[in-house]
Structure 1
Amino acid sequence: MAIRIRLGDYERVTGDVLGRDAIGCFPRMTEAEALEAGRGVWRLDMKIVSRERFLLITDAGQGLVRAVAEITAVTEHDTDRGRKKALEANLLGPGHPMYDTYINQPDPLANDSRNSVKYGDLPEELPFRTRDCACGCGGTTTHDFVPGHELRAIQARVREHFGGSVLSFITWLDAELPPAAPAS
């Protein structure tokens, strides 16, 4: 599935957690401006978002795709409306099948919902759904790891960097990371 974010009307903002001074769509905005305006902050389902690779930014006015990007990360931010997420992404360009099919075309995931976020399957993304397992085993998957291989990858790093000592790894991790925010 891809994620579609539909931009509303242009508006100036202050105190934006992403440092933006405006959000929404305006005439003649560039693809980079559309991505910046639409990448966050949203209430996103992490179970879905963590598996997705592509982001389409559309405008509510004309219903056209204004930017096509590949998602590289999801970040969390405290807002006055609770904890929300933003997408980090790289714009795609001419020659990429997702870009060539959707840029400046009607929203392929248009619906009557007022929700700006929509998840949906797009045929052009199918060749990109399979990727190499992140553990390095040579297997392929539609997720980051072949099932069970995330533990294999962690164990390999513990052996390589901590002499196989899980306690050493946890001690190092606790020293490197700031304390986690309490779950709400």
Structure 2
Amino acid sequence: MLRIKLGPRTYVGDTQANHPFLPRQHAGWDPTMSDQEVYNAARGWWRLNSRAEQERYALVLAGDQVRLAIAVKEWRAEGDRRAFAGEILAPGDPVYDKFVGQSDPAESTSRFPVLYLPDPLDAGVCRCGCGQAVTRGEWAQGHDQRAIHERIRSDFGGSVSRFIDWYDANGPFASSD
């Protein structure tokens, strides 16, 4: 889970106003902002590595209180910066109910506005079928590769070359001659 702490609202300029993924002219927060404006301010562009793309939720902290909980659905990268899109959660959602309206859940003195928070609500079960709990993303470490190679063993006799040949002939980039 990401915790995003917004500072005071500032003008970021007209250059971002027509951006196809995150159009905006302001970043930060002030108390007059709507939930949609807070959502747009929190989405990015943050200096984050690819680890962020494993997080399923973002909490937006402004004025020492969690203002929004967001289910993250999509990420975009431009250089070393990332932005996300998602759905603003509402009362009745467990993440919303646990955090929105509460004080900062992070016990950190870091000045960086984005922190990673472990939370049981963000946990799931590994998709490979092993039953192992995961606290971010969909796979326990290395289990995505395990799942791929189990399928290669099952469907291609264990031959990675046969799989590559099949994929090249049938996958999304196969030529349609």
Same fold (TM over 0.5): yes
Alpha-carbon distance between aligned partners in 1 of 2:132 and 2:73, rounded to the nearest angstrom:
19
Does residue 14 of structure 2 align to residue 14 of structure 1? yes
In the superposition, relative to structure 1, how do residues 6 and 148 fare at CA in structure 2: closer, same or farther (>3 Å)?
closer
Moved more, 102-111 or 145-154: 145-154
In the superposition, relative to structure 1, how do residues 77 and 138 fare at CA in structure 2: closer, same or farther (>3 Å)?
same
Q: Which residue of 2 aligns with 1:182?
A: none
In the superposition, relative to structure 1, how do residues 127 and 37 fare at CA in structure 2: closer, same or farther (>3 Å)?
closer
Alpha-carbon distance between aligned partners in 1 of 2:91 and 2:104, rounded to the nearest angstrom:
18
Does residue 60 of structure 2 align to residue 57 of structure 1? yes
Residue 85 of structure 1 and its aligned partner are, at CA, apart by 0.7
Residue 70 of structure 1 and its aligned partner are, at CA, apart by 1.7
Which structure 1 residue ranges, 4+ long, deviate > 6 Å from structure 2? 171-174
Q: Which residue of 2 aligns with 1:68?
A: 69
Give the TM-score normalised by the residue count of structure 2: 0.72
Task: After TM superposition, list the pairs within 5 Å mapping 1:118-133 onto structure 2.
Answer: 118-121=115-118, 125-131=119-125, 133=127
Which structure has the bigger radius of gyration? Answer: 2
Q: Deviations over 1:122-157 (max 9, x none)?
A: xxx314402351x5x474541423555424654649
Q: State percent identity of aligned pairs.
A: 26
- Which residue type is aligned with residue 40 of structure 2? E
In the superposition, relative to structure 1, how do residues 170 and 151 fare at CA in structure 2: closer, same or farther (>3 Å)?
farther
Alpha-carbon distance between aligned partners in 1 of 2:67 and 2:92, rounded to the nearest angstrom:
16
Say which SS state the counterpart of residue 23 (structure 2) adopts.
coil
In the superposition, relative to structure 1, how do residues 132 and 110 fare at CA in structure 2: closer, same or farther (>3 Å)?
closer
Q: CA RMSD in A?
A: 3.0
Q: Which residue of 2 aligns with 1:5?
A: 4
Alpha-carbon distance between aligned partners in 2 of 1:127 and 1:100, rounded to the nearest angstrom:
11
Give the TM-score normalised by the residue count of structure 1: 0.69
- Which residue type is aligned with residue 38 of structure 1? A
Unaligned runs of 5+ in 1: 177-184
Moved more, 68-77 or 110-119: 110-119
Q: State the aligned residue count.
A: 160
Q: Which residue of 2 aligns with 1:107?
A: 104
Say which SS state the counterpart of residue 107 (structure 1) adopts.
coil
Partners of 2:94 and 2:121 within 8 A in 1:
no
Unaligned runs of 5+ in 2: 157-161
Partners of 1:32 and 1:67 within 8 A in 2:
no
Alpha-carbon distance between aligned partners in 2 of 1:152 and 1:7, rounded to the nearest angstrom:
39
Alpha-carbon distance between aligned partners in 2 of 1:44 and 1:172, rounded to the nearest angstrom:
35
